[in-house]
Amino acid sequence: MRRLLIILLIAGGFVAADLTGLAEDARADKLYHTDQIALVPVDDAPLKAGHVINIHPNGPQIFARERYFLSGATPSTTYQVNLLVYPFEPECDGQAVVIPTAELKTNGVGNGTAQAVLRPADIGEALHNNTHGVSWEITLAGETVYEAAFCSSVALD
């Protein structure tokens, strides 16, 4: 029952938004600083470089900002970026809650960027003041083609 409640809080609480044109004040998180996490191809997916920039300003306007980058992926393709949250499991053990955050579209040479934002009100209260494991995957037609090179442990204020 607790696990179902946590999953419902997370799934209902995370909302991604496009930041195009927004300029908001953000302060650095005292617990989690900005990370650049490499994305690695799964199987034979083409990729020159890729990463997720995970920023946790924990300010009054923005709780977390994620930026995604692919270079040398399949040209003219739309990918789905998913945040994988492991509630109360900082080592990313167990079953992840999959939260779609953004669509990433590549250009004619396979380069693309996207971003997502999580605001304080978007995060379920049960997750505040706890540490969770997070990771990312990028999918195409429901199949994972790129994934984060490692799990990040994030303490939510």
- Give domain status of residue 55, yes or no: yes
Q: How many domains does the chain have?
A: 1
d(CA 53, CA 70): 12
21 lies in some domain: no
Global pTM exceeds 0.85? no
Domain carrying residue 50: 2-16+27-156
Query: How far, rounded to the nearest angstrom, does the alpha carbon of residue 71 sit from its chain's CA centroid?
Result: 18
Distance CA 78, CA 139 (A): 9
Q: Is residue 48 part of a domain?
A: yes
How many angstroms separate the Cα of 12 from the Cα of each of 6, 7, 18, 98, 116? 10, 8, 18, 12, 16
- pLDDT tens digits in sequence order for the chain, 157 residues long: 445 434 444 444 443 333 333 333 333 445 556 889 999 999 999 999 999 999 877 666 677 899 999 999 999 999 999 999 999 999 999 999 998 999 999 999 999 999 999 877 777 778 878 889 999 999 999 999 999 999 998 877 7
- Note whether residue 151 is domain-resident: yes
